[in-house]
Chains A and B, each alone.
Chain A
Amino acid sequence: QQQVKQSPQSLIVQKGGISIINCAYENTAFDYFPWYQQFPGKGPALLIAIRPDVSEKKEGRFTISFNKSAKQFSLHIMDSQPGDSATYFCAATSYDKVIFGPGTSLSVIP
């Protein structure tokens, strides 16, 4: 079965610090790698995404690093804020399917 692995399961970061979440995939047919952010009681919402022909993408404080040969990608949140506290899911998509990682619960403490 196709899998996307994600670590850590939970993460506590001080305000202003860097949060790093890592993901790894197996299927080389995946062609898009989005990250979703989910607040309690809400559905996931797209945060940032990357294509496999790009090694890095930055949007504000959020950066995706992508290593195609290692089949790994990561989310970096710079200057983490309490408002970033949420669950983060990495995902990998192909033509018709989306496979999500198990999620990372991020808590940013003042």
Chain B
Amino acid sequence: EAQVTQNPRYLITVTGKKLTVTCSQNMNHEYMSWYRQDPGLGLRQIYYSMNVEVTDKGDVPEGYKVSRKEKRNFPLILESPSPNQTSLYFCASSQRGPAPNTEAFFGQGTRLTVV
């Protein structure tokens, strides 16, 4: 089954404790991205990757890191989480970049709480 898998689905952590949220896709997609979803703000792009070893900042990259060493994986790293990073996070992938007629597939989401 074609899918984007995120882990964990739920995470409660303390301020400053490094964490990684994993994202894996099995569709051989070139483009992957991370979003955070907050009430009233919709989905905001954190980082994206056009292909292996190519990453770039989205609209809200502060406090986050990513890497794309393999095509299928795109982990999101919070080196020193803070309470304002409490949010619902989504990973997404698509065959190419967000070009016309290209559908993005989203994972199930990771709800992160930083206390």
Listed in ascending order, the chain A residues whose CB lies under 8 Å from chain B are 1-2, 6, 9, 31-32, 34, 41-46, 49, 51, 89, 93-103
Which B residues are CB-close (under 8 A) to A103?
42
B99 within 8 A of A: yes
Which A residues are CB-close (under 8 A) to B45?
97-99
- Pick from A34, A99, A102: contact of B40, CB below 8 A: A102
Contact B90 A43 (CB under 8 A): yes
Number of A-B contacts (CB under 8 A): 66
Contact B48 A100 (CB under 8 A): no
Contact B99 A95 (CB under 8 A): yes
Contact A97 B42 (CB under 8 A): no
Known pairs A44-B90, A97-B98 / 9 extra A-B pairs, C-beta < 8 Å? A31-B99, A41-B109, A43-B4, A46-B103, A49-B101, A51-B100, A93-B99, A97-B45, A98-B98
Q: How far apart are the CA atoms of A42 and B105 in the complex, in Å?
A: 12
Contacts of B90-115 to chain A: CB distance below 8 A: 90, 92, 97-104, 106-109
Which A residues are CB-close (under 8 A) to B58?
97
